[in-house]
A and B are shown apart, each in its own frame.
Chain A
Amino acid sequence: MEVAAIFLPLLAAFIAGLFGRWIGDRGAQIVTCGALILSAAISVFLFIDVGLHGHNRVIELFTFIASGTFEVSWALRFDSLTVVMLIVVTVVSAAVHVYSVGYMAHDHHKPRFMAYLSLFTFFMLMLVTANNFVQLFFGWEGVGLCSYLLIGFWYEKPSACSAAMKAFIVNRVGDFGFALGIAAVFVLFGSVDFATVFAKAPSLAGQSFTFLSWQADALTVTCLLLFMGAMGKSAQLGLHTWLPDAMEGPTPVSALIHAATMVTAGVFMVARLSPMFEYAPIALGVVTVVGAATALIAGTIGMTQFDIKRVIAYSTMSQLGYMFFACGVSAYGAGIFHLLTHGFFKALLFLGAGSVIHAMSDEQDMRNMGGIWKLIPFTYGVMWVGSLALAGIPIFAGFYSKDAILEAAFASGTELGAFAFWVGVGAALLTAFYSWRLLFLTFHGKPRANERVMAHVHESPLVMTIPLGVLALGSIFAGMLFAPILIGEHRGDFWQGSLVVLGNHDSIEAAHHGLPAWIEHQPLIAGLSGIFIAFLCYVMIPDLPGKFVRLFRPLHNFFLRKWYFDELYDAMLVKPALVLGRGLWKTGDGAIIDGFGPDGVAARTRAAAARAASLESGYVFHYAFAMVIGLVVIITWFFVRG
């Protein structure tokens, strides 16, 4: 049955993908949605069985790669961490599948779309149930492939094709580190099985090995290489440029892949590898700094964007930053908890945005929206729910998880933890600000769309609103429901060793022992202030933002242009690679190698051959001739030596 939960989506993807022509659009939708709902049901059961009753298990399927001592199996690992991920992945995926039936109603390639979504879910499930690094990598690259396919789903749009390629290639940069990291793990531990590696990790703490030309701490280097993979997949600073562009894909894809599941794989990886990271404090420090910096910088960019999906995309990046610095301060449980709640409310926000876009005849620019809240009240309502959860307002899901992260960061007692806390509070203010900026710009004020669009604004069909409702329930209740289990006093009973935290690193525990009241209230104050500023800027005094922009023109441009990362990479990497490629081809291969090699020799030979004889011009002759010469040379040589 566990196996069915994982492979049903694959089966559905095959059926919809290969036989879509025969079973029709409706058939493909029924098969894929049915498989996903079934899979989600099994996942809930597994959560109860494994997570709450502690029946951990590993199901070995068959050998994958066996070469010498390098042995890898296909296996499904079900432990507490896995089942939490299963819930997020299958529930959000099922919601997105159903939603897509409505959202993609006018598309001509429905079976293909559904097949990709199901295939993605399969790879994601393989990723979270991996029992070794190689299967993790399999799922990792597999979800990357599906992300590529889905971003480029509308393949006639050049921007979609470019965005798809960018996503794949930037992720490959991360995977370059990941692959080397796996190699390092194998060299260090003699195995790539999680159980073996984790058991051995403590004994390797502090050991060093030679990496490139330097002597370095073995676990630190290994963890950082692996973290590079996580940075690519989870769009952390430096390898984040693909995520905003990925919004070229259909909106359900953004909700499933680029918000709730795939991009959180990096966080999952760090949490899964907590038994290694715990013994590599420098690596944890890097994770904290990268996470915190991403949280803040993404916030600054999100503040200035006008594309509704891009705003949410930057918000995702920012929230992923929170999850990472939670892991960085050893509050893995809080990071995964935020992953769970974020999965619900961010998918909700994206699908809600999709509903807006759907209503606005595919308009995505918030400057062309406004004044539609009465026309699409349900969507408006769920967007509020999503935003409240995102901003961390009490009783909503994000409140529990975000607070837990920030408190743990402060309670960790380290300087990096304090840094992450304050940066996180700053980012929380930005989060609340851009969320309400989005709400006000999209739904309130005077309508800025043309009349034809406005006349057409309509609430989405039931097949879209029901999934929104499910996710909205998750966004409200997931926090209070899961907080006691995942980060409460008895969290150890739940995690059962699937997360390892050293005694003196336990920042969640430290946070439980009470923090100064003024610290505890910081996130909420930040969130409320953000909302208030947004209200001020976009409702009370609508010309205020314009004044700010004029006053801080260079800074605003810097944020608006996304800190010039794209331009930098283009100038430093993309263009040089193309110029170099061309140069090596024309000059290296053409002028130098061929010029001095075959072409040069050929010119000489032709001249010589013309002089020597006019017997025959066939090349077979030359060949035989040279063979004879060769023989003569050898035999002579032997006589001389002889």
Chain B
Amino acid sequence: MAGWPILSLTTFLPLVGAAFILMIRGEPDVVIRNSRNVALWTTLVTFLLSLFIWINFDPTTAAFQMVEKADWIPAFKISYHMGVDGISMLFVILSTFLMPLCILASWDSIKVHVKEYMVAFLILETMMVGMFCALDFLAFYMFFEGVLIPMFVIIGIWGGPRRVYSAFKFFLYTLLGSVLMLLAILVIYFITGTTDIPTALAAKISPSLQFWLWLAFFASFAVKVPMWPVHTWLPDAHVEAPTAGSVILAGVLLKMGGYGFLRFSIPMLPEASAYFTPLIYTLGVIAIIYTSLVALAQEDMKKLIAYSSVAHMGYVTIGMFTLTMQGVQGSIIQMLSHGVVSAALFLIVGVVYDRLHSRDIARYGGLVNNMPKYAVVFMVMMLASVGLPGTSGFVGEFLVIIGTFQANTWVAFLTASGVVLGCTYMLWLYRRVIFGKLIHDDARAMPDLSLREILVFAPLIVVVLWMGVYPSSFLNVTSASVANLIHNYQTALAESGAMVLAGR
């Protein structure tokens, strides 16, 4: 496998599948059936292919691996450059892992424009995988922004009744941030003379410029994460998006912000990162407490889970800016875990939404009586969401608390309060939906999980428990890169500290 351009293959294979789907002609029924099948097989093969990335991955080095490099626009020193390291590799796997599940979850629930829907998802996959693999700013920016287009289309066409408002909000937020990031990228291009990311990471940027560049990147990443107070697009986008759209939104798109901080802000702008750490802590703590309280008041299942996402991402941002081994690794694990768990939770809402077309918590209740399998799946994911030891949620949350305690006990104290609040809204949700008596006749008539739905949830449960009991498989992958990240950060800070001292 070694000589193959495996990253490019994984990135662009979905586009090939999309092209196939576009070529399908014939009776509407046949077109729909074939598009589904092609999409499923493409995403499955892509996932299997991406597993080779993991197999080939060498966890002992922090360098970029499986690198592919070719001249693209030599005049501007822009190249096509792909590669993964311990920070990005697992996100690639996460994206390819969730994709087949999304296709399966949309199997019956999407009835109109099926062909276009599948094409949009396959394009989305290319963009996401490309984003995590890109090592050139131009390609990165194209993928980063490109993700928005299929997502926008998915919400706009297959979304709920208020999709226009949501899509608009989604755009307004992300657009503002992206423009500022583009600005920052151009500045870096003018400084380093290249769009090559590894080169830029090694460049020394003056602290005063770092300040502005950091803010520009922050504007983009904070919206994506999303951090308080630029999170209000998320609940609306989730509520209106179709189930699979929510899955990708929560599972992968939210990770782009966190990934951005780790890939660019911290290594490239260490002084500014150190300077702004208190800001991140403050916003993170507010996110955890504020959105947990807001989640408590929600009547809409998807909104509740969306708010819980904001709270969980609060852990992520706090953890990575502690710049401790435990904090950063914890935040990566938390991102992966949240990617799986929140995806599963949105799928769980999707199951009952498909049956009753309501997300209103009060419309349900007592589902354990007629849907016991569903209740079990929901229970596992709820527990993972509240961070019960033995599930994936615990490892990330706990490592973040350990890391934070070393950095600042106040932040650790406030962060840990999320442990209490987080379990409150999730248990309350579960109690209202699953426990109690079956009072609504239409809810009583709902059938339990179908075989297709069980196939969707089984891999998610396996991963949640695997990450919870033996997280080493994941921690090993990230450790060398994270250690390197922290080492470089501290070296940079020490140097600049020395310079300040010398200047006195």
Contacts and interface: CB of A to CB of B under 8 A. Distances in A.
A622 B423 contact: no
Interface in B389-417: 389-390, 394-395, 398-399, 401-402, 404-406, 409-410, 412-413, 416-417
B409 A138 contact: no
Interface string A126-156: 0000000010011011100100100010011
A581 B293 contact: yes
Contacts of B368: 155
Nearest to A69: B325
B186 interface: yes
A581 B420 contact: no
Interface stretch (B123-131, B166-174, B260-268, B356-364): B166-174
Contacts of A622: 171, 175
B401 A180 contact: yes
B405 A186 contact: yes
A588 B152 contact: no
Contacts of A138: 389-390
A173 B329 contact: no
B183 interface: yes
B297 A581 contact: yes
Interface of A: 62-70, 74, 134, 137-138, 140-142, 145, 148, 152, 155-156, 158, 161, 164-165, 168-169, 172-173, 175-176, 179-180, 182-184, 186-187, 210-213, 577-578, 580-582, 584-585, 588-589, 593-594, 597-599, 601-602, 605, 619-620, 622-623, 626-627, 629-631, 633-635, 638
Contacts of B428: 165
B229 A593 contact: yes
Given A70-B402, A581-B293, A589-B294, A210 B409 contact: yes
Contacts of B390: 138, 141-142
A582 B325 contact: no
A155 B398 contact: no
A70 B326 contact: yes
Contacts of B175: 622-623, 626
Most B CB contacts (10 A, CB to CB) among A64, A67, A212, A638 go to A67
A599 B236 CA distance: 12
Contacts of A623: 148, 171, 175
B165 to A, nearest CB: 9
Given A142-B389, A152-B435, A180-B401, A633 B295 contact: no
7 contacts: A62-B470, A66-B475, A70-B399, A141-B394, A148-B427, A211-B409, A581-B296
B405 A183 contact: yes
Interface in B350-383: 366, 368-369, 383
A121 to B, nearest CB: 15
B182 interface: yes
A597 B398 contact: no
Nearest to B179: A630
A490 B183 CA distance: 77
A147 to B, nearest CB: 13
B40 to A, nearest CB: 28
Interface residues of B, number: 77
B274 interface: no
A182 B152 CA distance: 44
A608 B178 CA distance: 21
A490 B43 CA distance: 68
A581 B401 contact: no
Given A161-B435, A172-B419, 12 more contacts: A67-B475, A68-B326, A141-B389, A182-B398, A585-B297, A589-B294, A597-B232, A598-B172, A598-B173, A602-B172, A622-B171, A630-B179
Nearest to B190: A638
A210 B179 CA distance: 42
Contacts of A180: 401, 405, 412-413, 416
Contacts of A620: 149, 152
A188 to B, nearest CB: 10
B277 interface: no
Contacts of B437: 156
A210 B412 CA distance: 13
A165 B419 CA distance: 14
A70 B325 contact: yes
Contacts of A638: 186, 190
Contacts of A69: 325
Contact of A627 (B167, B179, B290, B325): B179
A439 to B, nearest CB: 36
Contact of A155 (B180, B329, B435): B435
A183 B472 contact: no
Contact of A165 (B179, B295, B427, B436): B427
Most A CB contacts (10 A, CB to CB) among B152, B368, B394 go to B394
A597 B401 CA distance: 32
A65 B190 contact: no
Contacts of B229: 593, 597
A408 to B, nearest CB: 34
Contacts of A605: 172
A630 B182 contact: yes
Contacts of B385: none
Nearest to A637: B183
A179 B298 contact: no
Interface in B159-218: 167-169, 171-173, 175, 178-180, 182-183, 186-187, 190
